[in-house]
Amino acid sequence: MKKKYLVIALLCAPLLSANAQRDTLSLNRDWMFRPGVPEPSTTLALTTPASTTLALATEDRGWRKINIPHDFQIEQPWVSPDASEKGDLTDISANIKSRLSARGFKEMGEGWYVKAFTPSRELKGKRLLLNFEGIMYVGDIYLNGELVGSTDYGYLGFEIDVTDKLKFDEANTIAVRAETGEPRMSRWYTGGGLFRGVSLIATDPNYYFVRHPLNISTTDNSRVSISAELSTTGPVREVKLHVAITDSEGNAVSDSTYKFPRNRNYITQEFQIPSITLHNPRLWDCEHPNLYLAKIELLRPDGSVADAVTKHFGVRTVEFVPNRGFLLNGEKVLLKGYANHHDLGALGAAAYPRAIEKRIKLVKEFGMNHIRSSHNPYSEDFLDLCDKYGILVVDELYDKWNDQYAGAGRVRFQDLWIDDVTEWVRRDRNHPCVIMWSLGNELQQLNNQPFNDFGVTQYKLMKTVVQRYDPTRKVTVAMHPRYRNWETNDLPCDLAMVTDVQSYNYRYMYFPGDGQKFPWMTFYQSEASISAMGENYFGMELDKVIGLAYWGAIDYLGESQGWPAKGWAQGVIDISLEPKPKAFYMKSFYSNEPLVHIAVTESRGNQMWNGVQTGNDGQSDHWNRTPGEKLEIITYTNAEEVELLVNGKSLGVKKNNTADPRLRNQILWQEVEYKAGNILAIARTGGREVARHKIETTGKAVSLVIESDNADWKADGQDLQHIRVIAVDSRGRRVKTAAGEVKCSVSGDATIAAVGNGNINSDELNVTDSQMLFNGSMLAILRAGTEASEIMFTATCPGLKPVSVKFTTGN
């Protein structure tokens, strides 16, 4: 039978102009994607030079059009433990695990991405680079059938020089193979695919800045140090750089041109610009994250601009001082934060800036000022947003230092780390939010690190490379256990004796003793258990330590403690970004805002993870229950006392036991009898009411309402609208016990990117258009297209009045 072919035309309009100093073209749209290994005919097409179109055999259906960022793994079905992985699969208390429990019960595999584009002939003679911000987990890149580049650690970006490989005024084909690796190659959900941006960069071929060329630092609170690395060829005797700095309002604060002699023996050189003094600078800190913009232009001998780069920076100083902790601009600041993996819930690993921003704004609302990027570099968009919102970042590179967790079995760790450290530090060093480098995590559990000395030699080698590119920040490693092995604990591990900062996961109780023995040490609780929340905060000498990061404060995919949980469920914020009652406990000491919040204990949690108790009590904050039921109530508060009332009848007043770290800010009320109506907590300090929280018995759910989060929705192809669909009673009150499946639809130039509901045990998929109500709500996430338009969103649920809302996207 004659083979039929489906011809997929992937032609673009001519790209980029020839006259610009530096052009960057997004390649994030209009890719063809196929999960798994393509059919032989397709594979052949990808490994031979492309013609003006890409021919795919119709026998190999399954190719579809997608836009980046994209995580193909989140689209896959859940894979439950099979019969060989014994246990009751319906009982979460059985703690059933499988080969995929760490990876979010998603199957491992690969996916192929294909895109054709047509560069203009005017670009001939330019230096042309393909820039990938990351490929999860590893990836290979083909251009016109030729393998032109690879990545073996997908959390970091890279560029490929394709100057001599592109064809002009005709279609070129990029094909990318992304692979998740074997299950054992990560301890959490990684996602898979082109999860960050792709672009084409064009520069002058003879005068250009190299990758991540700028190094901007502030040695004190007025002087700015800038160096720039660039490449020049030809008979050039001097290099001229024009440096302009503007403040956040666009006002010029510095503008000068500098000349440097060029060493003709070197094509690439780094030039140190004379120190620039800013008069009355606006400092960057958590409450006032003031940013400046530096624009550096490389001038040709005739004075024209050959290349230009820009970078935001902040004027601030960072110090780590024994017995004082962390100082920002000379003032003590306690790190109050969390440490999580990089996934974004229902969106998987796809790194949407708007989704990242939503998380940052939420945790800041709950008093956080700090995020540890465990255990890998997050996207540059994440750091830009932390700069914008004043979040302090401990920037982490790796988990363990071995071939299993870095390199995915394709390369040895020792052949990988130098390039990784270089790319990581050069990419992130200009961000004022980054206050410390962390090279790894929990290396002490097994002595399988290089050089067989629990990481000491490897740390010293890596720190040397870090300081080559950034000598201004301290370098650490998150350690667990804090001692060399599980049998002895009298002294810190060898690594703690050489790191700049002593970062202990969970073992804050050793800070005072280790500080007495080694007074030069500074202490950071790099992971803190939410199960021991409060005690592990108030139990520290807060005036002497750097601070802490609560592990898994937001529920995430992977590291499941047993099917049917698809991930970590011990957080204080669920995976759909709904705060749990315990989030208000955290806020009671992370924030100075007076508060009280009622929590009803539903279940007990007592699970061990990594040698640490992590199980959390299940809690709710609704008042729809069985008449006469006896309840355990906790009121979280930072006030001096709380009065609890049921239907106006006082159950008494209880004091906040601030003397006991285990009890502080949480007041227990036992055997509280449920009666329909309401329960009210009134918090007082000095006899004066400072906060109150009331929950009421609601009626039956009768309709749906929505809450949206983006009033300035951009038609840029990747901006998001998060829509919370809520079931309410006839008085408009949320009914947290409401059940039912919500079906979503959208018209206009937007699509449903994902749905979720916060139920980590649900078997529902996220890349679909419906979701069951959980705690009375579900979440729909819409992705804008590129055409400004009216968007109509509708949600329906059997038995409830539907809701529709109109949005407008703009340019």
Whether the predicted pLDDT of 8 surpasses 50: no
How far apart (Å, rounded) are the C-alpha atoms in residues 606 and 531? 9
Give me the long-range contacts of 486-491 (CB less than 8 A, separation at least 24).
486/611, 491/517
3-class DSSP state for residue 281? coil
How far apart (Å, rounded) are the C-alpha atoms in residues 656 and 777? 33
Question: What is the DSSP-derived secondary structure letter of residue 573?
Answer: B
Phi/psi class of residue 530: alpha, beta or left (left: φ > 0; alpha: ψ in -120 to 50)? Answer: alpha
**Backbone phi, psi, residue 794, to 5°:** -130, 135
Specify the higher pLDDT residue, 606 or 498.
498
Please give the average per-residue pLDDT across 147-153, as a whole number. 96
Do the Cβ atoms of 369 and 435 come closer than 8 Å?
no
List the one residue out of 392, 400, 408, 407 whose CA is nearest residue 439.
Answer: 400
Please give the average per-residue pLDDT across 6-27, as a whole number. 58
Q: How far is CA 727 from CA 49, 205, 735, 763, 768, in A?
A: 55, 60, 6, 21, 20
Alpha helices in 432-569 (DSSP H): 456-469, 511-517, 535-538
Whether the predicted pLDDT of 650 surpasses 80: yes
The whole-number pLDDT of residue 89 equals 43
| The total number of residues written for the chain in this structure | 811
Do the Cβ atoms of 699 and 769 come closer than 8 Å?
no
How far apart (Å, rounded) are the C-alpha atoms in residues 106 and 83? 17
- Name beta bridge partners: 54: 8
The whole-number pLDDT of residue 267 equals 85
- pLDDT confidence tier of residue 46, bands split at 50, 70 and 90: low
- Name beta bridge partners: 176: 113, 141
How far apart (Å, rounded) are the C-alpha atoms in residues 98 and 102? 8
- The average confidence (pLDDT) of the chain is 91
Tens of pLDDT, residue by residue over 428-444, are: 999 999 999 999 999 87
**Backbone phi, psi, residue 494, to 5°:** -60, -35
Q: Alpha-carbon dihedral of residues 80, 84, 86, 88, nearest 10 degrees?
A: 40
Least confident of 20-29, 102-111, 427-436, 600-609: 600-609
Give the burial class of 629: count Cβ atoms within 10 A of its Cβ; 0-12 exposed, 13-18 middle, 19 or more buried.
Answer: exposed
Global confidence as pTM: 0.94
How far apart (Å, rounded) are the C-alpha atoms in residues 804 and 312? 40
Tens of pLDDT, residue by residue over 718-764, are: 999 999 999 999 999 999 999 999 999 999 999 999 999 999 999 99
The whole-number pLDDT of residue 236 equals 82
Question: What is the DSSP-derived secondary structure letter of residue 47?
Answer: T
Degrees, nearest 5: CA angle 223-227-229: 170
Do the Cβ atoms of 224 and 273 come closer than 8 Å?
no
Whether the predicted pLDDT of 535 surpasses 60: yes
Q: For residue 168, what are the contacts with CB-CB under 8 A and spacing of at least 6?
A: 119, 120, 121, 123, 124
As a whole-number percent, the residues of the chain with pLDDT over 70 amount to 91
What one-letter code names the amino acid at 754? A
**Backbone phi, psi, residue 585, to 5°:** -65, -50
**Backbone phi, psi, residue 487, to 5°:** -90, -30
Tens of pLDDT, residue by residue over 406-434, are: 988 899 999 999 999 999 999 999 999 99
Whether the predicted pLDDT of 490 surpasses 90: no
How far apart (Å, rounded) are the C-alpha atoms in residues 222 and 281? 6
Phi/psi class of residue 36: alpha, beta or left (left: φ > 0; alpha: ψ in -120 to 50)? Answer: left
**Backbone phi, psi, residue 98, to 5°:** -145, 180
Tokens 């539903």, located at residue? 602
- pLDDT confidence tier of residue 54, bands split at 50, 70 and 90: very low
List the one residue out of 306, 369, 308, 311 whose CA is nearest residue 337.
Answer: 369
Please give the average per-residue pLDDT across 337-363, as a whole number. 98
Q: How far is CA 534 from CA 507, 593, 698, in A?
A: 14, 17, 32
Specify the higher pLDDT residue, 123 or 220.
123
Question: What is the DSSP-derived secondary structure letter of residue 96?
Answer: B
What one-letter code names the amino acid at 191? G
- What Rg value do the Cα atoms of the chain yield, rounded? 28
List the one residue out of 214, 220, 326, 222 whose CA is nearest residue 272.
Answer: 214
Tens of pLDDT, residue by residue over 461-481, are: 999 999 999 999 999 999 998
Give the burial class of 39: count Cβ atoms within 10 A of its Cβ; 0-12 exposed, 13-18 middle, 19 or more buried.
Answer: middle
Token representation of residue 474:
């301290």
Q: SS3 for 780-794, per residue?
A: EEEEECCCCCEEEEE
What one-letter code names the amino acid at 699? G
The whole-number pLDDT of residue 44 equals 41
Whether omega before 213 lies within 30 degrees of 0, making that bond cis, reads: no
How far apart (Å, rounded) are the C-alpha atoms in residues 163 and 205? 9
Across the beta sheet with 127-132, the strand order is 22-26, 198-203, 127-132, 158-161
Token representation of residue 418:
């130098």
- pLDDT confidence tier of residue 584, bands split at 50, 70 and 90: very high
Handedness of CA 597, 601, 602, 605 (dihedral sign): positive
Tens of pLDDT, residue by residue over 550-572, are: 999 999 999 998 899 999 999 99
Q: How far is CA 704 from CA 346, 575, 771, 793, in A?
A: 21, 21, 14, 13
Q: For residue 387, what are the contacts with CB-CB under 8 A and spacing of at least 6?
A: 284, 289, 291, 312, 314, 431, 432, 433
How far apart (Å, rounded) are the C-alpha atoms in residues 207 and 302? 12
As a whole-number percent, the residues of the chain with pLDDT over 90 amount to 83
Please give the average per-residue pLDDT across 684-702, as a whole number. 98
Neighbour count for residue 485 (Cβ, 10 Å):
13
